[in-house]
């Protein structure tokens, strides 16, 4: 079952580009459409795990050899069924609303601020879905913003007139167990693999396994972290990278992480991760940045195309 949904938006408009003296195709999208899409996504993503991730949990149940690990997975699967049926949050930590937007360069948003529309959609969705407001306005004063805003937004400008919006609901427990290290090229892939396994072992039960592991390699310090978080949004859960070398690395890391024996909920077992997704990017000749972003068993993500 695909969770990529197409929502109607305003038609393409023919406009005259300012100063260029010739017509150009610009697609106009009202920001109200964006806000409404985000509102719906916030509710759906918190209430219903993506079908392919439920399938990954079922595979984990089949593979798990520990009786207590099997029981944990049975309860997670039952919880997914109840939350979808009753339209209630799968997890009490309804997390950050992390938005990834791929925006075509021929798109023009109308009717106000895109950033404000994203925040409005989050606020309305969390209120409508009876979802906990978990954000504070500063790490220092810890005053709750009251509506789970602001959204954590990442923009990518691409060719065309399309808009692709991904919402990742990210709880704090697993995010707190994430890590970034600026390795050197001398550490190599073997050093990277050791860092990943060390991070999983340090997290133990605190990341609420079985986890989905997003890994970003390359770029700068900040780019690696964004790559790792975006890697979590790959669909379906557990699908291999199109790069054969990265796909091989992903398979090796799944085996190494499951060999830790941490198991479901940290009670011990043979399944500690259901997926490792690795993304790579060009980097400096003297650098090997590696970021690891963990997502817990309640892996909540949706992608739509406007």
Rounded to the nearest angstrom, the gap between the alpha carbon of residue 249 and the centroid of all alpha carbons in its chain is 20
Residue pLDDT, tens place only, 291-302:
999 999 999 999
Residue 305: strand, helix, or coil = strand
Residue 147 has pLDDT above 90, yes or no: yes
The first and second tokens of residue 153, run together, are: 């937004």
Q: Which residue has the higher pLDDT, 14 or 97?
A: 97
Strand partners, 29: 109
Q: Which residue has the tokens 């909920």?
A: 265
| Neighbour tally for 240: CB within 10 Å | 16
Instruction: List the one residue out of 286, 284, 294, 214 whose CA is nearest residue 246.
Output: 214
Asked whether the whole model's pTM tops 0.95, one would answer no
Q: What Rg value do the Cα atoms of the chain yield, rounded?
A: 20
Confidence of residue 25 (pLDDT cuts 50, 70, 90): confident
DSSP string across 229-264: HHHTT-SSTTPPPSSHHHHHHHHHHHHHHHTT---G
pLDDT digits (tens, 9 = 90+) for 166-182: 999 999 999 999 999 99
Query: pLDDT at position 24, please?
Result: 61
What's the mean per-residue pLDDT of the chain? 93
Secondary structure letter of residue 17 according to DSSP:
P
Per-residue pLDDT tens digits for 207-253: 999 999 999 999 999 999 999 999 999 999 999 999 999 999 999 99
């Amino acid at each position: 079952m695909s969770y990529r949904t197409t929502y109607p938006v305003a038609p393409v408009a023919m406009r005259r580009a300012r100063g260029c003296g010739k017509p150009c195709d610009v697609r106009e999208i009202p920001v109200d459409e964006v806000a409404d899409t985000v509102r719906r996504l916030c509710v759906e993503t918190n209430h219903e795990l993506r079908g392919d991730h439920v399938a990954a949990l079922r595979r984990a149940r089949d593979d798990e050899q520990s009786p207590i690990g099997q029981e944990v997975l049975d309860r997670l699967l039952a919880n997914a069924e109840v939350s979808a049926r009753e339209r209630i949050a799968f997890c009490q930590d309804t997390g950050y609303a992390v938005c990834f937007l791929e925006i075509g360069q021929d798109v023009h948003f109308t009717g106000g601020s895109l950033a404000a529309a994203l925040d409005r959609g989050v606020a309305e969705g969390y209120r409508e879905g009876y979802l906990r407001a978990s954000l504070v306005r500063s790490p220092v004063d810890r005053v709750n913003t009251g509506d789970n805003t602001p959204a954590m937004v990442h923009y990518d400008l691409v060719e065309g007139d399309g808009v692709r919006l991904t919402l990742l609901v990210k709880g704090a427990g697993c995010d707190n167990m994430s890590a970034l290290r600026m390795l050197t090229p001398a550490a190599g892939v073997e050093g990277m693999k050791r860092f990943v396994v060390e991070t999983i072992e340090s997290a133990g039960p605190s990341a609420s396994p079985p986890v989905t592991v997003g890994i970003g390699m390359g770029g700068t310090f900040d780019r690696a972290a964004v790559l790792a978080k975006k890697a979590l949004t790959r669909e379906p859960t557990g699908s291999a990278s199109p790069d054969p070398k990265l796909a091989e690395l992903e398979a090796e890391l799944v085996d190494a992480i499951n060999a830790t024996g941490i198991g479901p909920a940290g009670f011990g077992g043979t399944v500690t991760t259901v997926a490792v997704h690795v993304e790579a990017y060009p980097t400096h000749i003297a650098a090997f940045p590696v970021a690891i972003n963990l997502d817990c068993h309640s892996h909540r993500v949706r992608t739509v195309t406007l």
